[in-house]
Amino acid sequence: DGVTEVLAHRSDNLRDKFIEIPCSEDYDSHRRFEGCTPRKCGRGVTDAVITREEAERIRRIAERGLSLGGSDGGASILDLHSGALSLGKHFVNLYRYFGDKVQDIFTEEDFALYRDVRQRIQQRIAQVFGISSSAMYLTKPTFFSRMNSTGAKTTHDEYWHPHVDKVTYGSFDYTSLLYLSDYSEDFGGGRFVFMDADSNKTVEPRAGRVSFFTSGSENLHRVEKVQWGTRFAITISFTCDPEHGIGDPVLG
């Protein structure tokens, strides 16, 4: 992999770390939204937006939801917005498949916490990039991921390939990840890697840590394969295009 620098060690407690990088041309092929479309690009890491205790509560939501299904391979997905849940080699709609049982698994408090955490992350991104929080919209896919060292059974399990979010999902303008478990304590491998021309920059997950970045080619990235243990995170994505906006998930 060449030279690797660690942007954020698990042991760091970062208030705010931000690195500005030149924007790619990816945004030019999409409609621009004044006051939101990135003019300043970069990547940030903060441990000061979500507490570890809140991250543990959010992880329990993921664990309860994923206990209903789970992939045969190493990566399982739970999307509370669309209801998508990994089950074996496929996905099912959690709300349709389990119906009223969903009420026994999640509570209104779970969804309120999820909403609150999403809003705080949205506000921090807006603040750092100098845009208006109200000009950003939650977009899909926004989902929980659970990764372990089980071999891949389908292409969905192959989470380690380098990719660009704006290219993969045209709607993304800002991507964030909230980590729900600790690197080297809960799992090995599984670090987040920004792949730059001169070197790789890694973020070591830590429960409550938020990593966020503009979604264009300036932030080509991948996740290392998980070697042992279980890594939980939630990807929360934002668009500047109201047509691609989605609402917060609601129970029932």
Please name which of 105, 76, 106 lies closest in space to residue 91, comparing C-alpha atoms. 76
Contact 114, 120 (CB under 8 A): no
Catalytic (active-site) positions: 231
The amino acid present at 17, given as its one-letter code, is K
CA distances to 71, 82, 83, 133 from 96, in Å: 18, 11, 8, 33
Contact 148, 226 (CB under 8 A): yes
Contact 152, 226 (CB under 8 A): no
Dist. CA 190–CA 67, nearest whole Å = 21
């990547």: which residue's tokens?
Answer: 43
3-state secondary structure of 99: helix
